[in-house]
Amino acid sequence: MTASRTHVLIDTPIGEVTLVNTDGVLSGVYMAEHRPSPDRTSFGPRVTEGFDEVRTQLGEYFAGERTRFTFPVAPAGTEFQREVWAALAEIEYGTTRTYTSIAAAVGRPTAVRAVAAANARNPLCIVVPCHRVIGSSGKLTGYAGGLERKRFLLEREAEVREARATHAPV
């Protein structure tokens, strides 16, 4: 049986984002210049309605009102990729981890390059926070949507986290 897929385009502070739904569950979040570029012909028909909860929660995230997503997701990948993505999902809002720490978290401390490759293939950008992974030197490294978007997301999260810590309005 073939999966039913649809997609919608939404505007966000980091530009247009494509949301992909497979059998009623979010399976992809892609930015305009996403690298590596996904096969957009596999996204199914473009729709204008639906994705309501995802749109709401992403809006709350960008407004600084949400630090964790609660809708179901269905990323397609290998078992190892899904393990890495699960570890990414555990990175606390407004913080960062290194590829080395993620490799250790998945029980493969020498698989740093494999972790980086899985991170790069994350089909749920923002939702599964691959932007929170940085190099061991503390520098920003590759991001599917480009380093400017990664910097924006990290700075926004740090700003919101700081405001919450001091009880200041965002």
Query: Considering 35, 62, 89, which residue would you say is the last residue of a domain?
Result: 62
Number of domains the chain contains: 2
Residue of 166, 106, 103 whose CA lies nearest to 135: 103
73 within some domain: no
Q: Which two tokens stand for residue 168?
A: 């200041």
Interior angle at CA 34, CA 123 and CA 85, nearest 5: 25
Taking alpha carbons only, the member of 122, 125, 145 closest to residue 34 is 145
- Indicate whether 58 pLDDT > 90: yes
Residue 115 lies in a domain: yes
Range of the domain at 100: 79-165
Give pLDDT, residue 169.
Answer: 65
Mean pLDDT of 22-51: 89
130 is catalytic: yes
Is 51 part of any domain? yes
The rounded distance, in Å, linking the Cα atoms of 112 and 18 is 29
Q: What is the pLDDT of residue 104?
A: 96
Q: Could you tell me which of 157, 154, 84, 156 has the C-alpha nearest to residue 122? A: 84
Please check whether residue 161 lies inside any domain of the structure. yes
Burial class (CB in 10 A: 0-12, 13-18, 19+), 78: exposed
pLDDT (tens digit, 9 = 90+) per residue, 142-166? 888 889 999 999 999 999 999 888 8
Residue 117: inside a domain? yes
Residue 50 lies in a domain: yes
For the full predicted model, state whether its pTM sits above 0.85: yes
CATH number at residue 43: 3.30.160
**How many whole angstroms separate alpha carbon 55 and alpha carbon 49?**
10
**CATH code for the domain of 94:** 1.10.10.10
The active-site residue, picked from 26, 130, 154, 160, is 130
- Report whether 93 contacts 67 (CB < 8 A): yes
**Local structure of residue 13 (DSSP, 8 states):** T
Q: Which two tokens stand for residue 62?
A: 């960008």
Same domain, 102 and 32: no
Mean pLDDT of the chain: 92
Find residue 29's DSSP bridge partners: 19, 124
119 inside domain: yes
Distance CA 138, CA 98 (A): 8
